[in-house]
Structure formats: structure tokens, C-alpha cells
Amino acid sequence: MHKTSNLKFLMWALSVLTYVLAAVNRSSFSALGIVAQEHFSAEAALISTFVVVQLAVYAAAQIPVGILLDRLGASVMLCAGLFLMGCGQFMMGMSSSVPLALAARVFVGAGDACIFVSMIKVISDWFSAKAIPSINQISGLIGQSGMLIAVTPLAASVALLGWTGAFSSLALIALALMVLIFILLKDTPGSLPLARRLCRPQNTATEQRPSATTAASPITDALPVLGPGSSGIVPALKSLLKRPGVRLGFWVHFATCFSTNSFVLLWGLPFMTGGLGYSFATASTIVSLNVVAIMAAGLIAGPLFTRFMRQRVEIVTGLVAVIAALWCAVLLYPGGSPVWLMTLTAMIGGIGGPASMVAFEVVRTHAPYTQRGIATGIANMGGFLGALVNVLAIGLILDFTGAGTPDTYNLESFRGAMAFQVPMMILGITMMLIERPKAQKYLREKGLR
């Protein structure tokens, strides 16, 4: 028993470490927006496209990744994700042309898409149902440290090693971690690591079957939509989208984290340095505090939403309204927002990260057990599709107003560009208010509440 206990924490540590690296790769443009513009001699809209392509691939891959995860297991998907991210970052390091760089972001987005749900799968197969919510929150908290690494240390490594050296280093780290996963990670108690399973293919089906004490996966159970006599993917999607709780999960995820994703992934630093006139050190500190707020909020989000389970969507709606109000204050402040107000906005906005996990709890309540993988993919698309639209719109607005390069950045142009996220938050709030009563009615009709 003691050996099994130690082993599950090793499996968890490997998957969480992979998630940390995925966060670094996902956020690798957060402190490099201006550097990237200079490297590629590109305007704002084109640099936005790098992040947009990455987010689009991530969002589009959610459903197929969930299905493959059920069929192949977490170790295969983690290795695939690390391999794709490693290839993408190596390509980015070698690139001096925009087309190759865009191709690199496709690889990074596809690899990143494999990681989060695979980590959740490992947790759900190794830990008891009672421990899973806390382990999930702790894992998310640790994973956010990757965003901190992407803010200042990565920028420093580019300055020290150069563009090629810094991105090639990320690629080598990804490939080294892939080897560890390949050799050590077991999908379930009693199974074998991928390296040993490949040597004994005839035993794979038996060895990968979870033990009776293993908790059922809360997310990846979508396989029945594919097999003989199955409904198929498209009918399953239509069926799920008819459920108000699944739609509500999408809008919860959309409203809570698209703004923070946009801020951390690309536009936070350029807005503060090129628009508000902050020093790079001050702007980097604020972005870092945003990530710290995400991590700190993760410590209390689980107990809070468990205590107020019936009011969790209302809490999320109120939080998004506060974030929207703070951004209005930042953008309307005469002469440019003071540091304290921008810091407060960034930190409150960061709380949206842990709050977005409510989306998956809502989906778990409303989706059939055999379709939770696809349903979770739908919800997880919300925040990333929102970020995709917001990141691209900000770049386009900056270009349209003649402020598309670091030399032409100015406060008024950034005010107009960053204001785009406010109506998007209002849209998210509106849709949550519309879908919430429908979801409650659905549960009452099914006798689940």
C-alpha cells in the first residue's frame, strides 16, 4: 500500500511537470511580443496571428484529443504532446520567416492541447474520488508557475542565448521530459509504462484496464461515440449542445478566462509598456502578479465553490462583472491608469483562472457519463476561442489606428484596442444569465435537483 501511495505521487509529479512545461510553451510569447515584432519585422496584427493560430489549433484539437486519450491512454498523449511542442519550439528557434513561425505555433498548439486533459486523466485514475478535486486544484496551481517562467526568465534567456538558443532549449527540455514519461509513467495502477508495453503488445488491453479501486475518469469517457453501433461524433455533439448545462459550461469558461489569457499570452506587456508607459520591469511584475493571483485563488477556489455549490455560477457572473468594471476604470482613467489600478485589475482578473474550473463541474453534472470527454472539450474551447478572437481583434485595431509597431504604440490606440474585451465580457455575462435558469430547469425535470 505504501509503495502504491508513493507511486501515485510520482505519476502525478510527472504529469504536473509536463503541464508546467506546457504552460511555459503556451505563454512563450507573453514577454516576447516586442522582441518577436523586431525579429520578424512584423506589425501587431501579424504577431497576433501567431497566438491566434496557436489558440485556434488548441481549441479545435480538444474533442479529437479527448477521443484519442480514451483510446490510447494518458502516457501516449503526454508523449505526443511533448514531442509536438518540442518540434514546434525547435522550428520557432530556427525560423526567420513568418510562414515557418506560424507552422511552429501550430505544432505548439497541437501539443499543448494534449497535456491538460491527460494530466486530469492521470489524476482521476490514480487518486480516490474524494481526493480528486483537491489534487486538481493543486495541479492547476503548480501548472501556473509555467506562466511565471514565461514572463521574465524566458525573456532573459532570449537575451542571453539568442532567439535560436532560447527556443531550442525549450525543445530539448520537452524531448527530455518525453523520454521520462515514456520510461516511467503508468496510466493506471497495475499497468506498465509505455516503453514496456510496446515490448508486450499482447498484454496492453489487460494491463491498461483500471483496477476496481481506481476512480472513474471524470472527463475522458467519449469512446462510445466511435465504436460499432455508436452514435457518431456529429450526433453526439448535437445532442450535447442541446443540453443547457453544456452550453452554460462553455460560456462560464469563455467569460472567466479569455481576458487573462489574452493579457498573459500576448498583449499585457505591450499595453503597459507601449500604452501606459510603464517600464519593462514594472509591467513584468504586474504580469507576474496576475499569475500569482491565479495560483493564490486556486488554493481557495475549491473549498469556496464546494461550500457554495448551488451559487457557484452566480459567483462567477459577479466576478466577471467586477473584472469588466475594473478594465473600464483602467481604460477611462485620465492620462493613463496608475500602477496600483492596473495591478489590482490584473490580480482580480487572475482569479478568473481558477473560477473557470466551474465550467467543468457544470459539464460533469449535465453531460452523460459516456460523453464527458467531448462535453469537457466543448467547455474548454470557450476561454480559448474567446482569447483567440480578443487577441486578433486587438492587433487589428492597433493596425487600423496606425499603432501596429512598437515605435508607433500610443495610449489612445491601446485604449480602443483593449476596450474590445469589455463587450465580450458583457456577452459572456448575458449568456450565463440566459443559460443558467435553463440548466436549473433541466436538472429539476430530470430529478437531479
Give pLDDT tens digits along the chain (449 positions).
Answer: 455 567 888 999 999 999 999 988 887 766 666 677 677 776 666 767 777 788 889 888 888 887 788 778 889 999 999 999 999 999 988 887 778 888 888 999 999 999 988 888 888 788 876 777 678 778 877 887 777 776 667 777 777 888 788 888 889 999 999 999 999 999 888 888 888 888 875 544 444 444 434 443 333 444 455 544 455 667 777 778 888 888 999 999 999 989 988 888 778 888 999 999 999 889 989 988 888 888 788 777 777 776 777 788 899 999 999 999 999 999 999 988 999 999 999 999 988 888 888 887 788 778 776 676 677 778 888 888 898 899 889 988 998 888 877 788 899 999 999 999 999 999 999 999 999 999 888 877 776 55
Crossing angle of helices 421-445/312-332, nearest 10°? 170
pTM, rounded to two decimals: 0.74
How far is the C-alpha of 269 from the C-alpha of 53, rounded, in Å? 20
The yes or no reply on domain 8-189 and CATH 1.20.1250.20 is yes
User: Taking a C-beta distance cutoff of 8 angstroms, is the pair 197, 203 a contact?
Assistant: yes
| Rounded CA separation 157/266 (Å) | 18
Let me know if the fold of 8-189 is the same as that of 224-449.
Answer: yes
Q: Show Cβ contacts of residue 36 under 8 Å, excluding neighbours closer than 6 positions.
A: 29, 42, 47, 50
Of residues 288, 286, 277, the one with CA closest to residue 414: 277
- The torsion defined by the Cα of 108, 110, 115 and 116, in degrees rounded to 10, comes to 110
pLDDT of residue 339: 95
Cell numbers linked to 340: 496600483
In angstroms, rounded to a whole number, what is the distance separating the alpha carbons of residues 360 and 294? Answer: 17
Joined grid coordinates for residue 109: 498548439
Rounded Cα gap, residues 28 and 21, in angstroms? 10
What's the length of the chain? 449
Integer Cα distance of 157 and 169 in angstroms: 9
**Of 160, 139, 385, 421, residue with least CA distance to 268:** 421
The C-alpha atoms of residue 390 and residue 262 are separated, in whole angstroms, by 7
Residue ranges covered by each domain of the chain = 8-189, 224-449
CB 408 within 8 A of CB 398: no
| Confidence (pLDDT) at 78 | 95
Q: Is 206 exposed, middle or buried (0-12, 13-18, 19+ CB in 10 A)?
A: exposed
Q: How far is CA 332 from CA 273, 339, 410, 416, in A?
A: 17, 14, 15, 10
Predicted confidence at residue 412, as pLDDT, reads 92
Cβ-based neighbour number of residue 433 at 10 Å = 13
Task: Write the class of the CATH domain 224-449.
Answer: mainly alpha
| C-alpha cell recorded at residue 41 | 519585422
